[in-house]
Every structure is written in C-alpha cells, then in structure tokens.
Amino acid sequence: MKKKSFMTPVLLMIFGLIAIVSFGLQLTGDKNETAETPEATEQPETEQPSSGEIAHNPPSLDDVPDGPLGEAILRGYELTNNTSEVLRAEAASVEDGERVVNGLSCTSCHAGAGMDENSSSMVGVSSVYPMYIPRSGKIVTLEDRINGCMIRSMNGEKFPEGSEDLKAMVAYLTYISEGIPSEMNADLPWRHLNNMDNPPTPNVDDGEALYQKSCIACHAGDGSGTGSNTGPALWGDDSFNDGAGIARMTKMAGYIQRNMPVGAENTLTDQEASDIAAYILSQDRPEWANHDKDWPGMESPSDIMTKERRDQVKDGTIDWDEVLGNN
C-alpha cells in the first residue's frame, strides 16, 4: 500500500522532471536510464486496456494528494480552468492584467480544463513532450508549449522562467496524464482530432446567417462572448490572435464541427462548418507580430487567416482555392 501511494503521482512527476532534464543532455538516450526503479513507470495506477489502444481516463481531482504537490496541482487546475479571471485578478493593474492574458481560459478550447476527450484534450501531454513542433522548427518542452498557447491563443505573455504558476500548470497536466506511457506517444487517439483536412470552399454570407441562428445565444452577435467557459469570445480584443492554431481554416472548421454548438455537436455539415469558420476568421482580431518567424525552413500553411486575408474577404478579392491549397 505504502509503496503504491508513493509511486504515483509523486514519482511520475519526478520522472517527468528527470525526463525533461535528461532530454536536454542526451537527446537519444532512454529516459528511464536515469531513474532508479524503471519498472515504476510501467505500472501506472490508471488502468490501461491490454488491446493496445490507450484509454482516455484521467484521474479525479478528488484524488489529488495532500501537501505541496497537491496544492500545486489544484492551483494549476484553477489557472487552466479560469485563466483570465485568476491572472487578471492577481495582476498589479487592470492594464497589466489585459496585457498578460485575453478574456479566454484554456478551457475555452481545451474543454473541461483539458479533460474532455473531444476538445483538444491535454491528457498525456506530459508524456509526449518534449517533442518537435514544425511551427517552431525545434523540439519544445511542455513549458514552451503552454507558453505558446499563452502568446497566441491567449494573446498574452509567456510565464517567466521558473514561474510558480507555470510549474503549477505542469504539475496539473502531469497529474491528468497519469498512466499514459511515454513510449507510445505517437498513438494517443484523441490528439489532433479537431482538424478538417479539405474544407469545402466557404460562403461567408451563409456562415454569417448560420452563426446568427446557431451561435449567438452563447457567443453574442458581435462575437464578444458571454464568458470564458460559457461562450468565449470568438473575435475582437478578448479573443485569440491570428498566430493561434485555431486561426487556420482547417483547425477552426474541424473544431466547430466536432464541438459546436454545445449540445448539438457533430450536426453541422462540412460546408456549414467551413462557412461559419470563414465568417468567424474574417472578423477583426489581434494580430500576431511574428508570422515571418514561424515555420522556419518551410512554407507556412496557406490557410492561416491573417489581416491580409481578412481584408481580402472584406474587399471581395479572397482566393479561397489558394487559402485552402486547391490550386
């Protein structure tokens, strides 16, 4: 008994830290080599079926351990679930708060604080990172990836190095990743689901009509939303900037189809999801300053809805075939 309760999640977290540190030292080395009892990582408390398919089965927050680690996990949960409320309330001034983070929470896109299987679930992220990200052109740590969403999806600022809040978020994400083996990192079936490979050519006017019919109850007619976890801002100052992943047509259309409207998910056709995505992504939103530095050494995806593209929608010159890579 004693051994088991000690083994998880304290040990898993220690292994995570060791893995991250050792990764920097020996990129190709076996992560377990540095651990004293490698078999501990092979017997996670969370049950995994023997079929080979990894189960999405995050532990309950009721089982968070007492003590400093448990406090960090719960703080990380709060920061994930109520990001802007917490960070803005704790900022020195209103202006500071608005600079640090927009009006969204991580839950606005990673529903259930990252524990909803269909909504870009974050279960397992502490097992799959560090990993190579083409947009960054390098191997990024989980800390880097969280900060990536902070400066793009949250249109805010990075957590500073060594930040207790960043450590708390990692502790939380490590906790909900309990039992996900890192050796099978490529096979988590719930990753990268919110994507539509070939969206049909959209009609923005049809998208607007559909939006007004099916979305305004929660997201408001002007897209400013009703709250980060009831209907987050879809455009405008409080929303994501155009360097965010969801500012791409393929990701927005896929996300909308699989997750919206809440209560009637998976009811929109490809055409409808593409129309609404085009309408949302043609509205004004904060601009990402570093588009030219993304995707180093390769061509950027064509479906990023930048300011230039939004202007083309407004003046009627947009070439959707080019945006959607149909040329």
For ligand HEC, the binding residues (CB under 6 A) are: 80, 83, 104, 106, 108-111, 119-120, 122, 125, 145-146, 149-150, 153-154, 169, 191-192, 194, 214-215, 217-219, 229-234, 239-240, 244-246, 251, 255-256, 259-263, 276
Q: Please, what is the minimum distance in Å from the beta carbon of residue 255 to ligand HEC? A: 6
**What is the spatial distance between Cα 90 and Cα 149, in angstroms, rounded to a whole number?**
20
> How many alpha carbons fall within 13 Å on the CB side of residue 94?
0
- The least distance separating ligand HEC from the CB of residue 270, rounded to whole angstroms, comes to 14
Distances (CA, A) of 203 to 211, 288, 316, 323: 12, 25, 12, 13
40 or 107: whose CB is closer to ligand HEC?
107
Tell me the residue length of the chain.
327
- Residue 6: CB minimum distance to ligand HEC, A: 27
Contact yes or no for 56/116 (Cβ under 8 A): no
Q: Which is nearer to ligand HEC, 37 or 163 (CB)?
A: 163
Q: Please report how close the Cβ of residue 110 comes to ligand HEC at its closest, in angstroms.
A: 6
> Are 40 and 14 spatial neighbours (Cβ–Cβ below 8 Å)?
no
Nearer to ligand HEC (CB atom), residue 41 or residue 108: 108
Minimum gap (Å) between residue 163 Cβ and ligand HEC? 12
Q: Specify the DSSP element, H or E, that contains 138.
A: strand 138-140
CA 314 to chain CA mean position, Å: 29
Q: Cis link prior to 261 (omega < 30° from 0)?
A: yes
